[in-house]
């Protein structure tokens, strides 16, 4: 599938060193439109809606902010830690600027040991608006199956 100029520009912005040191693609060499298409299929297979998932992750991020950098337990289901640093990150699609705020969500319980999500405000924007979950190997990649397990869907 051929990418529009908008997607071509975004892909260039996602390369390491343009917006972030590690970029948004990890070791994934595919065009972003292919990554998005595959992730849309994987989200549907996992029974996840982009808007609903983004909304729930945003609620957890906002609840985690109340801990002011310390982990907080939300609804007895998740341990959430949100860290904010000075500065902002631009969207690779050039459609917004987002606070540098990283959130880690881990489900509570020994049966979920090692299961976690790490994301930012920018990650949520990319998920909700562009259906872009980042490339495989990216530190902020949102795997559909992992999101389903962490959120308990």
Mind listing the pLDDT tens digit for each residue in 52-85? 999 999 999 999 998 888 899 999 999 999 998 8
pLDDT computed for residue 1 by the predictor: 63
Q: Contact 150/105 with Cβ under 8 angstroms?
A: yes
- Reported as a pLDDT band with limits 50, 70 and 90, residue 152 is confident
Predicted pLDDT of residue 95:
95
Which parts of 17-125 fold into alpha helices (H)?
32-45, 50-65, 121-125
Query: Is the predicted pLDDT of residue 93 greater than 80, yes or no?
Result: yes
Predicted TM-score (pTM) of the model is 0.91
Checking if the pLDDT of 146 tops 70, the result is: yes
Helix (H) or strand (E) holding 100: strand 97-107
Percent of the chain with pLDDT over 90: 84
Which residue in this structure is represented by tokens 């892909």?
Answer: 11
Q: List helix spans (H) across the chain.
A: 5-13, 32-45, 50-65, 121-125, 144-151
Distance of CA 48 to the CA centre of its chain: 14
Tokens 């699609």 belong to residue = 93
Number of neighbouring beta carbons within 10 Å of residue 39: 21
Q: In DSSP terms, which residues pair with 84 in a beta bridge?
A: 101
109 pLDDT band, cuts 50/70/90, is: confident
């Amino acid at each position: 599938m051929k990418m529009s100029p908008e997607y071509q520009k975004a892909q260039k912005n996602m390369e390491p060193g343009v917006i972030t040191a590690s970029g948004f693609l990890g070791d994934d060499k595919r065009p972003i439109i292919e990554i998005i298409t595959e992730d849309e299929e994987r989200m549907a297979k996992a029974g996840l809606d982009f808007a609903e998932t983004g909304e729930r992750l945003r609620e957890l991020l906002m609840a985690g902010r109340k801990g002011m950098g310390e982990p907080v337990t939300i609804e007895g289901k998740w341990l959430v830690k949100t860290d904010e640093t000075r500065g902002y990150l631009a969207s690779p699609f050039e459609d917004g600027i987002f606070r540098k705020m990283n959130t880690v969500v881990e489900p509570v319980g020994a049966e979920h040991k090692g299961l976690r999500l790490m994301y930012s405000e920018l990650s949520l924007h990319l998920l909700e608006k562009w259906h872009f979950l980042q490339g495989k190997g990216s530190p902020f990649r949102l795997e559909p199956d992992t999101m389903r397990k962490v959120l308990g869907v």
